[in-house]
Amino acid sequence: MPAETRERLLPANLEAERSILGAILLDAFAFTEADCLKLLPEHFSLDSHRRIYARMRKLNVLGQPIDLVALCEQLDRGKELEAVGGRAYVSSLTDGVPRRPSIENHIRLVREKALQRQIIYLTDTIREAAWEEADSPAELLDVMEPKVSQLRETGVADPWHRLTAEDCMRKALRAWDEVRLAGGNAVGLTTGLLPLDVLTTGIRKHEYWVIGARPRMGKTSLLMQIALANARQGRRVAMFSMEMNDIQLMLRCMEHAGIAKPWQVRDCRLLEEAAYQAARASAMQRIGTLPLWVRAGRRSIADACAEARLAIRKYGVELVLLDYLQLADAPGKLDYEKVSAASTAIDKVIDKTGVPWVVSAQLNREADDPQRWPRLSDLRGSGQIEQDADVVILIHREANQHGEPTETGQLILAKQREGPGGHEPVIFDDHTKQFAARGR
């Protein structure tokens, strides 16, 4: 910590911390109140108070009463009793605390002081980094902004505030009015396919969509089709590609837009000079001017979520797409743990921001069987995806005699949390890499 910070005492309210701990020892409901208001050990300024509250939380998990005897025994077992000041200090915590204490205001004070300390730590870190000049100002801002956003989300709020039936119904009826007044087939953002918009009413706020398929079935193509369809309508879209770089992604967009044939996009020497110049101009005019932000290359799910929050707050992004989930680096030793962590992280960002995500995901090898359609259980790596997602679309394409996917297929609506399932017959155009509806 810099010398300037050490010279001043960090913000803290020790009396409020003691009152909270003492109240919990006197009344079991006080711990429920603290836990419900998301009070954590790190919110306490003193190490001894952090240790005591952590042990109280452990007693609660174990289903044991949180009283003086049990707490001191738990601290002693962890060789922490002397470190917190001994049995005498623990017992002194109840001094002056009323028999039926209300600690909501104390919790608010403690959390506010903790937030102030976190702000100080963050600004000190950024200031030191700026003095060292190892990173550019833009890089420092990229690091700082998601951390500031995280701090903003840690404010204390009563979890039951404005959650009466009347408040919730007003909110639900406002959402209902939006549906009633919406024009066109999609209440939310378009999927790029009219029949799918009709079946799902589009990609709505707070929704988590998953597009599942085996390799070469067209999951990246469908994701890109959704991105471009919305960007062309003026919607602000952010797209993460974990397996392509930004140049590859733009070349893929050129194929989608019909700027040139796929083989000509790959080798532009096949174009005559006039056609080449026309393609360049068309690509910049039709794709380069779209409100589409691209982040290419493999990254951790934590970084992707932080960058998405930044894009939402700074640029007003209305839709986030990620290709594909199993490639995102996430905590965990086993594949299913990593996929579960990644899916949960995305779900939390959606919950906080309200901005929908569309994520592609690999299916298990069992889905390679051309004789059967894919199903929800084929989602590779974790049932957590199925649990988190509001909508799951699985891609099936028929195979030819050589086992290669043909142009005919189905988009299977395997899950729709607030609507029916179903399937839509489609044709895949291998030149433009786009799906189109076909008659049933």
Give me the pLDDT at residue 7, please: 44
Q: Are residues 111 and 188 in the same domain?
A: no
**CA pair distance 357, 235, nearest whole angstrom:** 14
Q: Are residues 88 and 227 in the same domain?
A: no
Q: Are residues 138 and 264 in the same domain?
A: no
79: left (phi over 0), alpha (psi -120 to 50) or beta: left
Which two three-digit tokens encode residue 284? 């910049």
Question: 58 in helix, strand or coil?
Answer: helix
For residue 377, what pLDDT band results from cuts at 50, 70 and 90?
Answer: confident
* Residue 48 backbone dihedrals phi, psi, to 5 degrees: -65, -40
**Candidate from 41-55, 191-205, 405-419, 426-440 with smallest mean pLDDT:** 426-440
**CA pair distance 205, 317, nearest whole angstrom:** 12
CB-facing half-sphere around the CA of 268: CA atoms within 13 A: 14
Q: Are residues 204 and 287 in the same domain?
A: yes
Q: CA distances (Å), 54 to each of 25, 66, 75, 102, in order?
A: 13, 12, 10, 20
**Does any domain span residue 138?**
yes
Give me the pLDDT at residue 357, please: 95
* Amino acid (one-letter) located at 142: D
CB atoms within 10 A of CB 10: 14
Do 45 and 17 form a contact (C-beta atoms < 8 A)? yes
Name, in order, each residue with C-beta under 8 angstroms of 303's C-beta and a sequence gap of 6 or more: none
Q: Counting runs of H as helices and runs of E as strands, what totals does the chain give?
A: 17, 9
- Whether 143 has a pLDDT exceeding 80, the answer reads no
Give per-residue pLDDT as tens, 290-312. Answer: 898 888 888 888 888 888 888 88
**Does any domain span residue 433?**
yes
- Whether 421 has a pLDDT exceeding 90, the answer reads no
Mean pLDDT of the chain: 83
H/E stretch holding 415? strand 405-416
- Total domains in the chain come to 2
**Does any domain span residue 229?**
yes
Rounded to two decimals, the pTM is 0.63
Q: Are residues 189 and 147 in the same domain?
A: no
Task: Single out the residue in 132, 152, 172 at which a domain terminates.
Answer: 152
Q: Are residues 142 and 191 in the same domain?
A: no
**CA pair distance 278, 264, nearest whole angstrom:** 13
Give per-residue pLDDT as tens, 233-278. Answer: 999 999 998 888 888 888 888 888 888 888 888 888 888 889 888 8
For residue 80, what pLDDT band results from cuts at 50, 70 and 90?
Answer: very high
**What CATH number should be reported for the domain holding residue 54?**
1.10.860.10
**Candidate from 115-124, 144-153, 274-283 with smallest mean pLDDT:** 144-153
Q: Are residues 327 and 382 in the same domain?
A: yes
Give me the pLDDT at residue 156, please: 47
Give me the pLDDT at residue 49, please: 95
Question: Cα dihedral sign for 146, 149, 155, 159?
Answer: negative
Task: Single out the residue in 133, 152, 171 at which a domain terminates.
Answer: 152
**Nearest CA to 362 among 343, 390, 346, 334?**
343
For residue 379, what pLDDT band results from cuts at 50, 70 and 90?
Answer: confident
**Does any domain span residue 176?**
no
**What CATH number should be reported for the domain holding residue 275?**
3.40.50.300
**Does any domain span residue 408?**
yes
Which residue segment(s) compose the domain that 285 sits in?
184-437
**Candidate from 26-30, 40-44, 136-140, 339-343 with smallest mean pLDDT:** 136-140
**Does any domain span residue 49?**
yes
Q: Are residues 220 and 359 in the same domain?
A: yes
**CA pair distance 440, 433, nearest whole angstrom:** 21
- Whether 336 has a pLDDT exceeding 50, the answer reads yes
CB atoms within 10 A of CB 214: 22
Mean pLDDT of 81-88: 93
Give per-residue pLDDT as tens, 343-368. Answer: 888 988 898 888 999 999 888 776 66
Q: Are residues 330 and 370 in the same domain?
A: yes
Which two three-digit tokens encode residue 43? 């919110």
- Whether 157 has a pLDDT exceeding 60, the answer reads no
DSSP conformational letter for 376: G
Q: Are residues 201 and 140 in the same domain?
A: no
**Does any domain span residue 377?**
yes
Q: Are residues 278 and 396 in the same domain?
A: yes
Q: Are residues 255 and 295 in the same domain?
A: yes
**Does any domain span residue 167?**
no
Mean pLDDT of 78-107: 86
- 3-class SS letters over 330-371: CCCCCHHHHHHHHHHHHHHHHHHHCCCEEEEEEECHHHHCCC
Where are the alpha helices (H) located in 233-315, listed in sequence order?
246-256, 262-266, 273-286, 301-315
Residue with tokens 């009152």: 19
Percent of the chain with pLDDT strictly greater than 70: 90
**Nearest CA to 230 among 209, 244, 215?**
209
**Nearest CA to 49 among 10, 88, 89, 78?**
89
- 3-class SS letters over 135-164: CCHHHHHHHHHHHHHHHHCCCCCCCCCCCC
Mean pLDDT of 139-162: 63
- Whether 2 has a pLDDT exceeding 50, the answer reads no
